[in-house]
Structure 1
Amino acid sequence: MIRIAAAALASTALLAGPLVAQDNAEEVAAAALESAPVWDGHNDVPIQLRSRMGNVINDFDFVDTLDTQTATRAAMHSDIVRLRQGKVGAQWWSVYVSPSQTEPEAVQATIEQIDVTKRLIAANPGALQLALTADDVEAAMENGKIASLMGMEGGHSIGNSLAVLRQMYEMGARYMTLTHGRTLDWADSATDKPRHGGLNAFGMDVVREMNRIGMMVDLSHVSEEAMHDALDVAGAPVIFSHSGARAVTGHLRNVPDSVLKRLPENGGVLMVVALPWFITEDLRQHAANRTAEQARLEALLPGLPDEVAAGLAKWDAENRPPVSTIEDMADHIDHIRDVAGIDHIGIGGDYDGMPTGPVGMEDVTGYPALFVELAKRGYSQADLEKISSRNMMRAMRAAEAYAESRKNMAPIEYPAGASRDEES
């Protein structure tokens, strides 16, 4: 009887354990986010200002943007009220412009996006504070403001010029994603045909010069080979501003284990994205199957677009897309922790650059729910604080320290107008 009672008590304890953890999870997550608010790696509000308003924002109310919904477009994901609800204390605003533009056009457009982002920050001084250094981020958080940093998304923004890169830094850009969706004269994109086997010689010098001046190297969007090439020459921590783990979801935008294993030596941070097709493998497979069905219908029914549309509508009705969840995003964080370690994880939502986040994280208010899920999985308050902002703070301070150690080095020079599209 004693043995039976003991076994029953042990069984009850096993069942009660997770429930206790669940009860405490909200408290652990709340304490972590109070101590170390989210430092988000990527938000596309600036391109929303360009596409929706042509950057005419003098009368734009960023306190509440729910009224931006139109007949053809959903409301924006971000505003001051919702960033506060989401416990966001620092935000990398992406000054993205389309890589389909010519490079001179892209350089001009990037400057315009830096301008509109600075004007948005200046127009909301009670909530936003421009940050150019890690100390600025810390000061803004202490002041109860959302530290606002700027990052370029794609090397097309510098027009093959290290001089332009340096001037973008002077204007306030503090990271650059080496590519977006297009392979450049010096760097291969993850989602375009490769030309260089990663980075060519100029591409490696772009990384070196970014390190020298203190601009963080962002490896989201680049090919696996380019990730390795950048890590080979980087003297400062790299970031992935909005990516997932490829072992969990096989999208080429995600980071393979071969790269994750190198993050501890580099000190870099993978900021986990919330974009459903990057974090939910079933959803990625569904999208591929739909594309294949459309191609099949177009091959069977050439010149009959109405019948193709009807066939695709029938397929959609019979093949509902899977749901992306907070648990899916947490699975990526688990994997990165297992391969690279807790010191190399951050958050990079990609809000306002995607249709929606996962269920429960549809907009920037969802971060606390993610941290509750992580707490349920056994992440400590210290772990959560590292993920929310402390890892990013450490990486930026290290990049600044590296630049300080190189302050007496001369800039890397190339002849003006010379080709950068050379073999590695």
Structure 2
Amino acid sequence: MWTSWWLWPLVAICTADEFREQAERIMQGTPVIDGHNDLPWQLLTSFNNQLRDARANLTSLAHTHTNIPKLRAGLVGGQFWSAYTPCDTQNKDAVKRTLEQIDVIHRMCQMYPETFLCVTSSEGIRQAFQEGKVASLVGVEGGHSIDSSLGVLRALYHLGMRYLTLTHSCNTPWADNWLVDTGEDEAQSQGLSSFGQSVVKEMNRLGVIIDLAHVSVATMKAALQLSKAPVIFSHSSAYRLCGHRRNVPDDVLELVNQTGSLVMVNFYNDYVSCRAEANLSQVADHLDYIKKVAGAGAVGFGGDYDGVSRLPSGLEDVSKYPDLIAELLRRQWTEAEVKGALAENLLRVFEAVEQASDHTQTPEEEPIPLDKLEGSCRTTYGYSGAPSLHRPPGTLLASLVPLLFSLYLL
């Protein structure tokens, strides 16, 4: 036996090729739907969303994790593109910035129609699969993007938003973010305020997927218990394997299982290994663990490409998805389980969200209380308790008399 030791590397290579070939075969029929990609943010920060800049050509864009050749090599068939604007836009120009990011996603589809098909439904995703295009959907990352307005929420839905991440790395006036669990932020809503509950109900009514990446554990539990439809974590991993507060703890994974919800595993090293370095095998460990605790139907992929600074070895860009699928097959995942993780689990959740929607139902209308809003540039139209902006002549002078008299006495 010892004389044939040299055969083992050849056997390993042949076996690896077999799993890789099997992965590609499966993905030809069931391409991956990724839950979160920040390419639109790269287009903003590098080119100010000027897609006709020669350097922004998506067929040759070199410095990003994502371009058209890499998407093709990775057999990516569906992508939630992140319409992201940072927390420092809250109470400022968050809505404007979000609209611009939605616009650039639509313009990607218009400029590269042979590659991208902008869709807004589960049926649209299936159509894109049939046409061999990347189904392109809008995910708005951060509840501050709606500026605490149900009207803005509805407007973004009409512009194509199909998931909303309830917070980013900051509280909104109606929901708490993950930094509450680290002690860096103080809880304001104890999960969801009454207005936050209205946001969740309105998302259910509209057919917008609730995304719980970036939220506090209390917000996770509140939304999972309130929502009439399954929810997603568009780019989060397993807390038990990496104790980062952006990840999902076991008791929440159990709720994910009970509600038919979905955790789309994040590839960011800090959420995979809790260190600067990570590898493909460790990402597969997270997929294994979520499957074990929450079930095979709870697993998906949310790579966070172009939104992170460090990625695992073996998963350096979007072209590497077949290698990860090959690793799952090597770990004896069945073909049905792999197809679920690739696309079918997300499609099931999306269809359930669509079925739970009801546009004949009366929309949520009660606005957030005025005292919950901040920002010196904010107007107060519509709030009955707010000072009138059209005061009778002499009102301002009359209001100044007591102040002037007090100054005179000094």
1:271-305 Cα shifts (integer Å, max 9, x gaps): 00111110013x1xxxxxxxxxxxxxxxxxxxxxx
CA contact (8 A) 2:148 2:368 kept: no
CA contact (8 A) 2:291 2:298 kept: yes
Structure 1 length-normalised TM: 0.81
User: What is the aligned partner in structure 1 of residue 35 from structure 2?
Assistant: 41
C-alpha displacement of 1:17: 11
Pair 1:374 & 2:328 matched: yes
1:188-208 Cα shifts (integer Å, max 9, x gaps): 100241222211111111111
User: What is the aligned partner in structure 1 of residue 216 from structure 2?
Assistant: 223
CA contact (8 A) 2:169 2:177 kept: yes
Report the 3-state secondary structure (helix = DSSP H, G, I; strand = E; otherwise coil) of the residue aligned with 1:242.
Answer: coil
1:55-75 Cα shifts (integer Å, max 9, x gaps): 122233111211xxxxxxxx1
Which of 199, 203, 219 is matched with 1:210 structurally? 203
> What is the 5 A alignment of 1:341-360?
341-360=295-314
> What is the 5 A alignment of 1:276-295?
276-281=269-274, 283=275
Which of 238, 258, 280 is matched with 2:231 structurally? 238
Q: Higher Cα Rg: structure 1 or 2?
A: 2
* 2: CA distance, partners of 1:222 / 1:205: 17
Which of 34, 51, 63 is matched with 1:57 structurally? 51
Which of 92, 97, 102 is matched with 1:114 structurally? 102
RMSD: 2.0
C-alpha displacement of 1:234: 0.3
CA contact (8 A) 1:21 1:378 kept: no
C-alpha displacement of 1:91: 0.4
Per the alignment, do residues 137 and 419 of structure 1 end up closer, same or farther by CA in structure 2, a change over 3 Å counting? farther
User: What is the aligned partner in structure 2 of residue 298 from structure 1?
Assistant: none
CA contact (8 A) 1:275 1:349 kept: yes
Which amino acid is 1:111 matched to? L
Report the 3-state secondary structure (helix = DSSP H, G, I; strand = E; otherwise coil) of the residue aligned with 2:87.
Answer: coil
Which of 328, 341, 365 is matched with 1:387 structurally? 341
Which of 152, 166, 177 is matched with 1:189 structurally? 177
User: What is the aligned partner in structure 1 of residue 80 from structure 2?
Assistant: 92
* 1: CA distance, partners of 2:144 / 2:47: 23
Which of 235, 246, 257 is matched with 1:253 structurally? 246
Which amino acid is 2:303 matched to? G
User: What is the aligned partner in structure 2 of residue 146 from structure 1?
Assistant: 134
Pair 1:414 & 2:366 matched: yes
Per the alignment, do residues 29 and 182 of structure 1 end up closer, same or farther by CA in structure 2, a change over 3 Å counting? same
Report the 3-state secondary structure (helix = DSSP H, G, I; strand = E; otherwise coil) of the residue aligned with 1:395.
Answer: helix
CA contact (8 A) 1:32 1:382 kept: no
Sequence identity percentage: 39
Pair 1:340 & 2:328 matched: no
Report the 3-state secondary structure (helix = DSSP H, G, I; strand = E; otherwise coil) of the residue aligned with 2:347.
Answer: helix
* 2: CA distance, partners of 1:28 / 1:223: 39
CA contact (8 A) 2:296 2:341 kept: yes
* 1: CA distance, partners of 2:138 / 2:360: 26
C-alpha displacement of 1:45: 0.7
User: What is the aligned partner in structure 1 of residue 396 from structure 2?
Assistant: none
Which amino acid is 1:64 matched to? S
Which of 119, 125, 146 is matched with 2:113 structurally? 125
CA contact (8 A) 1:202 1:420 kept: no
C-alpha displacement of 1:348: 0.3
* Relative contact order higher in (CA < 8 Å, ≥ 6 apart): 1
1:191-228 Cα shifts (integer Å, max 9, x gaps): 24122221111111111110110000000000011000
* 2: CA distance, partners of 1:20 / 1:76: 32
* 1: CA distance, partners of 2:309 / 2:300: 22
Aligned length: 359
Which amino acid is 2:356 matched to? Y
Unaligned runs of 5+ in 1: 1-15, 67-74, 284-320
Report the 3-state secondary structure (helix = DSSP H, G, I; strand = E; otherwise coil) of the residue aligned with 1:95.
Answer: strand
Runs of 4+ in 1 over 4 A off after TM superposition: 16-23
Per the alignment, do residues 380 and 28 of structure 1 end up closer, same or farther by CA in structure 2, a change over 3 Å counting? farther
* 1: CA distance, partners of 2:26 / 2:255: 27
Which amino acid is 1:168 matched to? L
* 1: CA distance, partners of 2:100 / 2:121: 22
C-alpha displacement of 1:408: 2.1
Unaligned runs of 5+ in 2: 1-9, 374-410
* 2: CA distance, partners of 1:130 / 1:29: 26
* 1: CA distance, partners of 2:65 / 2:218: 33
